[in-house]
Amino acid sequence: MPISKTLEKFGYPNTLIKEYRHWCLLLRPKQATLGSLVLVCKEPVAKFSEISAESFQEYTQIVPEVEKALYRTFPYNKINYLTLMMVDPDVHTHIIPRHEQPLRFEGKEYRDFDWPGMPTLQKVNELSGVDFRKLHGVLMEKLLGLPSGPRRFKRVYTTGCFDMFHTGHLNILRRSKEIADYLIVGISTDELMEQEKGKRPVMAYEKRAEIVAAVRYVDEVVPQVDKNKQKIVTQYQIDAITVGDDWNGKYPPVSCEVVYFPYTTEVSSTALEAKIREL
């Protein structure tokens, strides 16, 4: 998925709470009210009337889901939607829960400065980096069913080929680190990829390992020489393995917990390789 300037401005992928087929739901970096979100369309359009029918249909499904999650987290008095495209041209909607009374989160008080008038987004609540990450984790819990808080497991393992690194790879690493004190990433060797896919990778193992090791969410990179996950669990004392939800019901049994994350369907190394050949 091409990253638009609007997604970049609002902190994608670090602020991503949930990725849908046509939209990205982000925690607004500047919290006009506690729980303020931004819903950004992935399509390169500048008018709400130009989004596809599929995007509009998904939008109507996202809204009630988000409203319920926000109300479970911080019960609001009203909720406002601002779809402006004045400064940031890509279609996006600010979702602003409105609170008549101040709210408390992590021992601090947060106000709705514009209540009872329209939200101006001029005054914002300042959150420390730690509190912002905690808020992000709480909302991910409500919308994705993830455990609350920034950590859950001591040692987490995830794996992949990571050939032609893309946002789908970044998503799984970021989400894995959300629940890990220490994240270990297994990268398939060139020999394993040839054995499994019948061809060598575009990028050699050493280069793929160098890229993944440079990602701030990753604590350690190890080679994946076969698909025996239990051997890895035992060798590295793994508490949980993370994997895309396309593996749900098909993942081989292991002695640790398996956590499934939404699979990023819009981008893959195979699709990128095909696009490169086309160009």
User: CB atoms < 10 A from the CB of 142, how many?
Assistant: 20
Is 199 among the residues known to form the active site? yes
Return the structure tokens found at 177: 């680190």
- Rounded to a whole number, what is the distance in angstroms from the first to the last CA of the chain? 17
- As a dihedral over the C-alpha atoms of residue 7, residue 9, residue 14, residue 18, rounded to 10 degrees, the angle is -30
Answer left, alpha or beta for residue 15, where phi above 0 means left and psi between -120 and 50 means alpha.
alpha
Helix H or strand E segment including 275: helix 269-278
Local structure of residue 115 (DSSP, 8 states): T
Please give the angle made by the CA atoms of 24, 28 and 32, to the nearest 5 degrees. Answer: 145
The answer to whether 32 touches 121, Cβ cutoff 8 Å, is yes
Is residue 157 within 8 Å of 233, Cβ to Cβ?
yes
Q: Which of 68, 197, 227, 231 is catalytic?
A: 197
Residue 236 region by backbone torsions, left for phi larger than 0, else alpha for psi between -120 and 50, else beta: alpha
Annotated active-site residue 197? The verdict is yes
CA-angle at 194, arms to 190 and 197, nearest 5°: 125
- Cβ neighbors of 45 (< 8 A, separation 6 or more) are 51, 90, 91
Q: Catalytic residue numbers?
A: 197, 199
